[in-house]
Amino acid sequence: MIHVVATVLVKPGRMAEALAIYRPFAREVEAEQGCLQYRPTVDVDLGLPTQRLDPNRITVTERWESIENFRAHLVAPHVVAWREAIRDCLDGITVTVTRDAG
């Protein structure tokens, strides 16, 4: 199993639009072979001194059965369409892929 954390930076004033694009897309991704979890999330302010809040950030947490499943996801037609649909809302995306340390 692999874990993916995508940090999506949204242009100021475009968060509602970006989230509207994510909602149906997330359902499509979760239906993909090997997808165990796909969740777009936004920051919650708990007042913790270590928190770095950003109202223009979407953090997507993902779990995949295998690297091969994730690679197939990256080229799926609905992913290509999503990239085009959301492109104008974004300032950037970074992706971290990890596996269990044990």
pLDDT at residue 95, as a whole number = 97
3-state secondary structure 2-70: EEEEEEEEECCCCHHHHHHHHHHHHHHHHCCCCEEEEEEEECCCCCCCCCCCCCCEEEEEEEECCHHHH
pLDDT tens digits, 33-57: 999 999 999 999 999 999 999 999 9
Q: Can you list the domains of the chain with their CATH numbers?
A: 2-44+53-99 (3.30.70.100)
pLDDT at residue 59, as a whole number = 98
86: nearest Cα among 5, 27, 11, 31? 11
pLDDT of residue 102 exceeding 90 = no
Which amino acid type is present at position 54?
D
pLDDT of residue 98 exceeding 90 = yes
Please, how many CA atoms are within 13 Å of residue 15, restricted to the half-sphere of its CB? Answer: 13
